[in-house]
Amino acid sequence: MTKTHQGYSISTNDKGEQVFTFVQGNAYQGSPTNQTINSGGEARTTAHEIAHGLGLPHIFTGVPAVVLNTLENKDNLLNSDANSGEGMTPATGTKLLPAQIDVMKKVIESVQPEKTNNDKPEQ
Ligand SMILES: [Zn+2]
């Protein structure tokens, strides 16, 4: 399943005004190998897409539900501007909760090759 992230890159123009540039990224959820992640070059979007690749869903479409779609989680990295919950946008946060880290660890472990006796360090 492809997860698309919609967000904004914020920069300042030569008049000192903030400029919001639309950024869209995408990644396959739970597929950390053999894929290209698009992020428009924006750091938060890159981290967000990598987190999808490592198995995390959005907080508002949580399958599996890892984080509740509530205001205290508005600043979560897996929130996005596609969140229709009241007060849940703009999504600019970068927090990850321990339960999310656990999901990513399990996906990373799932793609590790089986260890064999040949992998043991020399004694
Ligand atoms: Zn996303």
**pLDDT tops 80 at residue 117:** no
**How many A from CA of 80 to the centre of ligand 1?**
6
Distance 58 CA to ligand 1 centre (A): 6
Distance of CA 108 from the midpoint of ligand 1 (Å): 19
Task: Give CA–CA dist 39/22, Å, rounded.
Answer: 11
Q: What is the pLDDT of residue 32?
A: 80
Ligand 1 midpoint to CA 90 (Å): 13
121 burial type by CB count under 10 A (0-12 exposed, 13-18 middle, 19+ buried): exposed
How high does pLDDT run on average in the chain?
A: 82
The alpha carbon of 59 and the centre of ligand 1 are apart by a number of angstroms equal to: 9
Confidence of residue 4 (pLDDT cuts 50, 70, 90): low
Ranges 6-10, 16-20, 51-55, 94-98: which has the least confidence: 6-10
What distance in Å separates the CA atoms of residue 53 and residue 32, rounded to the nearest whole number? 5
pLDDT tens column, 84-100: 999 999 999 999 999 99
Q: For the chain, which residues make up each domain, given as ranges? A: 2-111
CA of 12 to the centre of ligand 1 (A): 25
Neighbours of 1 (CB within 10 A): 11
